[in-house]
């Protein structure tokens, strides 16, 4: 069996004295979509930050393409082919849409290819071509999310980390975002590690999934199999099973749509 593109082994990360994630191990195979599910505060975003260098694990290993990421600065990690779209979009509000996209390619020197990728982003996200000269702060929430994803793709990553891409969006825009996620994975072969509040949508697009609870991975499996698990259906998909009772702590978690 080939080595995964991304591998975490027994990762522990703290915020000051507070332990945020403990003993987290997960794999992202090349060209796959992996979903990471969990309630608010479970540690999902910390896992992504531990990968992309925004926080440094105190224990464990994080390898990408066989190279250790622990101790590397975020910009160096981007240069290795990994891009992170954080929760909240975080576009450059006063720069134009076009300049935001070009900022995503700041590590690249292949100008002709950058121009070609700019056109490719406009093909994936036609609204960004229409808004290319406008400041990013004038975009709607959905348009800013598209811009954040497109900016990350301008780095030509082998792995894309997506943190809550559907947060605050209308059902129509959620559908558009997930259609683009599928397309990027299928057409470009870009691997995706997806943290998503919409568990139904996440498991529908993912190949594999993990569930994190109180900083620990408590369940993993093929996405289709996870979607049929009684606990997942009840506590993350909102499907009540007749006569089902669960003793898991998940029953105290906020149900996701």
CA–CA distance, 196 with 134 (Å, rounded to integer) = 29
pLDDT in tens, 30-70: 999 999 999 889 999 999 999 999 999 999 999 999 999 99
DSSP 4-47: PSEEEEEEEEEETTEEEEEEEEEEE-TT-EEEEE--TTSSHHHH
Does residue 237 lie in a domain region? no
Residue 252 lies in a domain: no
In a domain, 42, yes or no: yes
Give the domain CATH number at 104.
3.40.50.300
User: What are the tens digits of pLDDT across the range 212-232?
Assistant: 999 999 999 999 999 998 888
Structural domain includes residue 163: yes
> Is 87 domain-assigned?
yes
What residue numbers bound the domain in which 165 lies?
Answer: 6-229
Q: Name the domain count of the chain.
A: 1
Q: Give a yes or no: residue 256 inside a domain.
A: no
Domain membership of residue 72 (yes or no) is yes
pTM for the whole structure: 0.91
Q: What is the pLDDT of residue 251?
A: 45
């Amino acid at each position: 069996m080939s080595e995964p593109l991304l591998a975490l082994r027994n990762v522990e990360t703290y915020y000051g004295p507070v332990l945020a994630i403990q003993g987290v191990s997960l794999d992202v195979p090349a060209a796959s979509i992996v979903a990471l599910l969990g309630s608010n505060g479970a540690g999902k975003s910390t896992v992504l930050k531990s990968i992309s260098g925004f926080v440094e694990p105190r224990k464990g290993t994080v390898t990408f393409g066989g190279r250790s990421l622990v101790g590397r600065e975020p910009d160096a990690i981007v240069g290795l082919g990994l891009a992170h779209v954080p929760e909240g979009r975080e576009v450059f509000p006063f720069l134009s849409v076009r300049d935001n996209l070009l900022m995503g390619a700041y590590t690249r020197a292949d100008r002709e290819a950058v121009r070609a990728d700019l056109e490719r982003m406009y093909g994936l996200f036609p609204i960004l071509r229409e808004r290319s000269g406008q400041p990013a702060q004038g975009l709607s929430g959905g348009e800013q999310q598209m811009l954040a994803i497109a900016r990350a793709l301008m780095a030509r990553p082998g792995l894309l980390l997506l943190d809550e891409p559907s947060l605050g969006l209308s059902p129509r825009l959620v559908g558009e975002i997930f259609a683009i996620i599928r397309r990027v994975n299928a057409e470009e072969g870009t691997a995706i590690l997806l943290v998503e509040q919409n568990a139904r949508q996440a498991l529908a697009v993912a190949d594999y999934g993990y569930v994190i609870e109180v900083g620990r991975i408590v369940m993993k499996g093929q996405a289709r199999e996870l979607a049929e698990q009684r606990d997942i259906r009840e506590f993350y998909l909102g499907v009540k099973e007749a006569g089902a009772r669960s003793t898991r702590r998940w029953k105290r978690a906020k149900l996701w749509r």
